[in-house]
Structure 1
Amino acid sequence: MSKPLLEVKGLKKYFDVTGGIFSRKIGEVKAVDDVSFEVYEGEVLGIVGESGCGKSTTGKTLLRLIEPTDGQVFFNGEDITNLDEDGMRKKRRDMQIIFQDPYASLNPRHKVEKILSEPLIVHGIGTKEERKEKVKKILEVVGLSGEHASRYPHQFSGGQRQRIGIARALIVNPKLIVCDEPVSALDVSIQSQILNLMEDLQEEFGLTYLFIAHDLSVVKHISDRIGVMYLGRMVELTGNEALYDNPLHPYTKSLLSAIPDPDPDMKKERIILEGDVPSPSNPPSGCAFHTRCPDVMDMCKAVRPEFQEVHDKHFVACHLYDTDVPR
């Protein structure tokens, strides 16, 4: 494989928990806790996990919409972690995001033309007339009409708004788009339309996606490789088919067992996890999953497993695959 377009090394994001009369720091929420992965040019890397596992925070932190606590992010070989505000603004022309909620991510007071022209103005692209033309063209690319530029967001359905959100990310011709659960707020019938649109756009514009979702069947449809997160940590990362055909981590196995099968006669054994997801402000010692794991061993409670390659390009953080562990 060529060198990665995006490289994330040891990324951490901790949020302070305050309390008492003087709002002193009494703890911290480890939303993202030492996450590393790479995204190659032209691929789709899916990131999945339960709500609250830190996947959206990972996406926003690597774009520095939220400042990281620790770790490094390399984009095209350049460390963007310490860039100043001006340097980061220039870099964002190549790194865009599609937000989860199409209702909250568009300014209700602005017409679509102003919403889509804003990124062009920020990056000094084109004259007023050229920008107007570009807005009309990009609306047509995402399946809307150029005439929609004169409308306000409230005049559109959820699916149409998400198309506008996609157009806003595309209009500056980025290399990487972080898709933060772009279809989870939409009806199932609309989800497939938006996913198909995103696949077509990726091919047409040579885009690279980091696709965040909690629905494994959605991620299977669009991703080349998939990373599974649990409580702020990456627990498994491999190719699309390898993950579905041969999941290694007990958490991944339980997630896959929950996907409904369209064949009503197909009987599938469901792996039900015991207990609740622990709090990221007080994660368990050792392996964060040990409190719910059906295969838990004594060392899981004390030693945090390393994220290691156990098969060809198949990474997992689990003591079951440690070669030096006595059975």
Structure 2
Amino acid sequence: MNPQFLLEVNHLKKYYEIPQGMFKEKIVVRAVDDISFSIKKGETFALVGESGCGKSTTGRTILRLTEPTDGEVRFDGEDIRSLSYEKMRLLRSRMQMVFQDPYASLNPKKTIREILMEPLRVHNKYEKKERMDKIRKILEIVGLSDHHLDRYPHEFSGGQRQRIGIARAVVLQPDFIIADEPVSALDVSVQSQVINLMLELQKEFGLTYLFISHDLSVIRHMTDRMAVMYLGKIIEVGNTDDVFENPKHPYTQALISAIPANHPRESKDRIVLEGDVPSPANPPSGCAFHPRCPAAMEICSRRVPEETDFGSGHTAKCHLYQMNEKREEKDEHAVIHS
């Protein structure tokens, strides 16, 4: 365990088996397929990709809301998979989640007072009076007040509901929060308010975020490092600025090219991908992206690419760079023997 990393994910897998009848083999859906990454204390790390690539499943599997099929998840040096139910429940006071749909994630039959009180009660935090003081303080921080305490979730706007969801995650003062598409269900005018709130909370409480999103504009604004997922696999990792300025994988290049221009007069070269995302129940052989890749070669359909390191923690899995490395090795070999 590297002490600078709060979370380490090693070869994580989550497969789902779909029965096909008595005489047919089960179909295996590889939702998360052997991924590894680490998150430093105090940073915001992003998981990026199209819908269905396995981002949300990764987040839920890390917290063991969904049990992993294989792999290792270490939080602050402790292997989460080996923990008993009781120890895992206690650890969740340090690991929280903000869900995509702020309405579906809040119990419609409970008031905001009850929703915010529940995690403090379950984890036996503070005395009763201290709990109310804590709730009032958190509400104030997220831009709400005492007169909201006895209202129900349906009485709030989408942005307010997400603020309540964030307050519920932060009230325990966790070390780590997984934010699963926390602004995708909100109006654009409200998104920036929620994003700025999350950044302010990170500074105040020293939070570490795993931010899951398909919105690259949001990712660039609020994250330090990012990983790009495609069909259950991570294909590129690096500092956010490095990946945006110099994307290596053809899929990452296509995603970044699709970001809307900032000004009507600004022109952008769009990379339009052909075809649809393949089914994770029947992924292509070799590199899973090769049927849609504009730079695909014959080797791409046969062999899974290895990781190429470009320095400063920027890596990508693509045969383009491995072929270049082999050519350079051949040229160097020829020079030595000439």
Return the TM-score normalized by structure 1. Answer: 0.97
Secondary structure of 1:196's aligned partner: helix
One-letter code of the match for 2:17? D
Secondary structure of 2:133's aligned partner: helix
Which residue pairs with 2:259 in the alignment?
A: 259
Which residue pairs with 2:275 in the alignment?
A: 275
Map 1:176-191 onto structure 2 (within 5 A): 176-191=176-191
The separation in 2 between residues aligned to 1:47 and 1:25, in whole angstroms, is 33
One-letter code of the match for 2:6? L
Runs of 5+ in structure 1 lacking a partner? Answer: none
Q: CA deviation at 1:166?
A: 0.2
Map 1:7-22 onto structure 2 (within 5 A): 7-20=8-21, 22=22
Map 1:153-302 onto structure 2 (within 5 A): 153-302=153-302
The separation in 2 between residues aligned to 1:92 and 1:275, in whole angstroms, is 41
Runs of 5+ in structure 2 lacking a partner? Answer: 329-338
The separation in 2 between residues aligned to 1:230 and 1:23, in whole angstroms, is 32
Secondary structure of 1:311's aligned partner: coil
Secondary structure of 2:291's aligned partner: coil
Larger mean CA deviation between 124-133 and 77-86 belongs to 124-133
The separation in 1 between residues aligned to 2:91 and 2:308, in whole angstroms, is 31
The separation in 1 between residues aligned to 2:77 and 2:148, in whole angstroms, is 39
The separation in 1 between residues aligned to 2:82 and 2:177, in whole angstroms, is 21
Map 1:90-109 onto structure 2 (within 5 A): 90-109=90-109
What number of residue pairs does the alignment pair up?
326
The separation in 2 between residues aligned to 1:315 and 1:258, in whole angstroms, is 22
Which residue pairs with 2:40 in the alignment?
A: 40
Return the TM-score normalized by structure 2. Answer: 0.94
Residues 306-326 of structure 1 deviation map (CA, whole Å, 9 limit, x = unaligned) = 234232210111111215545
The separation in 2 between residues aligned to 1:74 and 1:5, in whole angstroms, is 8
One-letter code of the match for 1:19? Q
Which residue pairs with 1:6 in the alignment?
A: 7
Secondary structure of 2:82's aligned partner: coil
One-letter code of the match for 1:167? A
Is the 1:310–1:321 Cα contact (8 Å) retained in structure 2?
A: no
Which residue pairs with 2:333 in the alignment?
A: none
Q: CA deviation at 1:126?
A: 1.5
Secondary structure of 1:209's aligned partner: strand
Is the 1:137–1:146 Cα contact (8 Å) retained in structure 2?
A: no
The separation in 2 between residues aligned to 1:309 and 1:324, in whole angstroms, is 11
Secondary structure of 2:53's aligned partner: coil
Is the 2:177–2:208 Cα contact (8 Å) retained in structure 1?
A: yes
Q: CA deviation at 1:129?
A: 1.9
The separation in 1 between residues aligned to 2:147 and 2:47, in whole angstroms, is 36
The separation in 2 between residues aligned to 1:302 and 1:311, in whole angstroms, is 27
Is the 1:17–1:25 Cα contact (8 Å) retained in structure 2?
A: no
The separation in 2 between residues aligned to 1:36 and 1:310, in whole angstroms, is 17
One-letter code of the match for 2:218? V
Which residue pairs with 1:320 in the alignment?
A: 320
Q: CA deviation at 1:180?
A: 0.3
The separation in 1 between residues aligned to 2:16 and 2:307, in whole angstroms, is 24
The alignment status of 1:60 with 2:65, answered yes or no, reads: no
Which structure's CA Rg is the greater one? 2
One-letter code of the match for 1:5? L
Is the 1:16–1:25 Cα contact (8 Å) retained in structure 2?
A: no
Is the 2:308–2:321 Cα contact (8 Å) retained in structure 1?
A: no
One-letter code of the match for 2:167? A
The separation in 1 between residues aligned to 2:49 and 2:145, in whole angstroms, is 36
The separation in 2 between residues aligned to 1:200 and 1:82, in whole angstroms, is 34
Map 1:83-94 onto structure 2 (within 5 A): 83-94=83-94
Q: CA deviation at 1:23?
A: 9.7
Compared with structure 1, are the counterparts of its residues 325 and 284 closer, same or farther at alpha carbon in structure 2 (3 Å cutoff)?
Answer: farther
The separation in 2 between residues aligned to 1:101 and 1:128, in whole angstroms, is 30
The separation in 2 between residues aligned to 1:231 and 1:122, in whole angstroms, is 37
Which residue pairs with 2:332 in the alignment?
A: none
